[in-house]
Amino acid sequence: MTPTAYKQAAHTNSYEFTQGSGYQLPEYPFVPPPELNDSQTRRHPMVIVGGGITGLTLACSLANLGVPAILLDEDNTVGVKGASSRGICYTQKSLEIFQRLGLYDRIAAKGIQWSVGRTFAGEDEVYSFDLKQQGGYNLSQQPPFINIQQFYIEGFLVERIAELGHVELRWQNRLTAFEQNADFATLTVETPAGTYTVEADHVIDATGSHSPLRQWLQVPFTSKRGDDRWCIADVRFTKRPPVERHTWVEAPFNENRAVWQHLMADDVWRIDYQMAPNADPEYVSREDVVRERLARQFGPDTEVEIVWVGPYAYRSECVHRMREGRVFFMGDSAKVVSPFGARGGNTGVADADNLAWKLAAVWRGRAHPALLESYGDERLEAAQQNVLVTNRTARFLRPADGVERLFRNAAIGLAKKHPFARTLMNTGRMAVANPYSRSRACTYAEGCAAGQSVQNVALRWANGSAGCVNDLLNWAGGDLLLLAFGPLGRADLQRLKTLTAGAPMRAVQVPVGRERAQAVEQVRDPERHLRAACQLAGTGWALVRPDGYLAASGERIDGRLVAALERSLGLR
């Protein structure tokens, strides 16, 4: 192969005008792929295109399940040079996924935990919350949120993939052409040492909002671009603000426009300023203009180190389908949302976690290929919901003249005087684990919480030592997990023995109280948190998927369990 003049990766997200000392990003070496010297084209089970947080999470998830794959990334680092901060807020569901993958402790040690949010209009606090006091968050072993710069998580994922093996990360490998047929896909890849081709059974597009695959395949999508303008300032202060999420709907120090304030790792604060719609991005990101803006908010005597500044505008997009032939779309390749409520990177992490176990199950021959269709059922519903929620927030923060502005003004006026109106302050409904209400892989029934995420709650092993749901999921090794609550009769035990011998399912008994267990595999639930996480009122069973979602539940171990198991594996 003849060496080429490899073009460096371009900046993304339109961060043309950046200031500050910046972040020091790691750089990974280019290693010539073996295909450069091969006379025959190699076939890979999975090829992931894009090494951002979504692609790396998928790669790590596949590695954790022992599935071989290669990942292609056109750059030689994590983050984006010149725009390296980007996402900062990671939800409990993402943190649970990272704990299962073995990198949560690194994130927790580096990041900042928070649960309190306060919203202001002018000088008045009009809304506040403490997520630790809310039932939807307080059972998990992970906190509601951790703030940390996205490139740190990506770097931890790179380290973890190297520890796990199975997945090869190929830096400075740019996809330049693609074609597919009914049996496989063919990818043409450019590197600093030449060009090569590979074949793949499945291709996962995690290239982001400017996806070339989406363009080449002419995938239909809905797009909406607003005229809202923002400017990020990542700064360090001599005087530390509270470790809380502070939001101003109308900030007197920003011409009554919105402002966000978050603490991240390294004692760096992310301040987001809403700009005028006609603001010049080069002007608003000038260092002297940024310092003047910060002085208005924090006082002229506050010493400030500017780490990074970047203006941005956002848009919303959503594909009409999450799969095109052998290509799966995930993360920003599938949907683009405004940053309100941390629904961008977190949903990309969930996309990866959803698809990984299904690809692994099909690759191992333990599930029917039809199971892969449920990825589109579930994650398209999540994408559409997140686009809807963030668009509503964007309209509240920059309402159109007329009814929208009238509503916002009325909501602010009421919230200043009456507690009932404070929940109307829509500054970003925080991201949650999206429920699945129309999945072909879930079995829905009255009183069943199928399609809901099961929190990573604490439990006790049979010997009394501490454990959690993620320990059970990792023990199941990518198979389905059956939790049987209460006593088991001889017939129940025989049915479970038959099922676990012939299907990719592991079964664990959860005795009630001090009851004696009948099954060999057992855990204890002294606080009934495990039962609550599965939303079971009494005895019965819960079928939990490798991604921590409830596939089905029931009262007796009978034919309904068999049907639910088959459905969860794409056999019905």
| pLDDT number for residue 79 | 83
In this predicted model, what pLDDT tens digit does every residue of 233-278 receive, in sequence order? 999 988 777 788 898 989 999 999 999 898 999 999 999 999 998 8
Q: What percent of the chain has pLDDT over 70?
A: 94
| pLDDT number for residue 339 | 75
| pLDDT number for residue 530 | 95
**Contact (CB, 8 A) for 219 and 319:** yes
Q: Which of 154-163, 219-228, 405-414 is predicted most confidently?
A: 154-163
In this predicted model, what pLDDT tens digit does every residue of 514-553 receive, in sequence order? 888 898 899 999 999 999 999 998 899 999 999 999 999 9
Q: What is the pLDDT confidence band of residue 424, given thresholds at 50, 70 and 90? A: confident
Residue 511 three-state SS:
coil
| pLDDT number for residue 2 | 45
Q: What is the pLDDT confidence band of residue 23, given thresholds at 50, 70 and 90? A: confident
| pLDDT number for residue 134 | 66
Burial class from Cβ neighbours inside 10 Å (0-12, 13-18, 19+) for residue 517 reads middle
What is d(CA 341, CA 336) in angstroms, rounded to the nearest whole number?
13
Query: How many residues can be counted in the chain?
Result: 572
Residue 293 has pLDDT above 80, yes or no: yes
What is d(CA 380, CA 386) in angstroms, rounded to the nearest whole number?
10
| pLDDT number for residue 295 | 93
Q: Which amino acid belongs to residue 347?
A: T
Q: What is the pLDDT confidence band of residue 30, given thresholds at 50, 70 and 90? A: very high
**Contact (CB, 8 A) for 62 and 69:** yes
**Contact (CB, 8 A) for 48 and 204:** yes
In this predicted model, what pLDDT tens digit does every residue of 49-64 receive, in sequence order? 999 999 999 999 999 9
**Contact (CB, 8 A) for 236 and 307:** yes
What the block records as the tokens of 386 is 């997140």
Mean pLDDT, rounded, for 421-426? 76
| pLDDT number for residue 82 | 59
In this predicted model, what pLDDT tens digit does every residue of 467-496 receive, in sequence order? 999 999 999 999 999 999 999 999 999 999
Q: With helix as H, strand as E and coil as C, how does 198-213 read?
A: EEEEEEEECCCCCCHH
Burial class from Cβ neighbours inside 10 Å (0-12, 13-18, 19+) for residue 500 reads middle
pTM summary value: 0.94
CB-based burial, 460-481: b 16+ in 10 Å, e otherwise = beeeeeebbbbbbbbebebbbb
In this predicted model, what pLDDT tens digit does every residue of 241-252 receive, in sequence order? 778 889 898 999
| pLDDT number for residue 4 | 54
Q: Which amino acid belongs to residue 308?
A: W
User: What stretches of 226-268 adopt beta strand conformation (E)?
Assistant: 229-237, 245-251, 257-263
In this predicted model, what pLDDT tens digit does every residue of 549-568 receive, in sequence order? 999 999 999 999 999 999 99
**Contact (CB, 8 A) for 91 and 107:** no
Q: What is the dihedral of CA 295, 299, 301, 305, to 10 degrees?
A: -50
Mean pLDDT of the chain: 90
Residue 300 has pLDDT above 60, yes or no: yes
Q: What percent of the chain has pLDDT over 90?
A: 65
Residue 64 three-state SS:
helix
Please state the separation of Cα 445 from the chain's center in Å: 28
In this predicted model, what pLDDT tens digit does every residue of 149-187 receive, in sequence order? 999 999 999 999 999 999 999 999 999 999 999 999 999
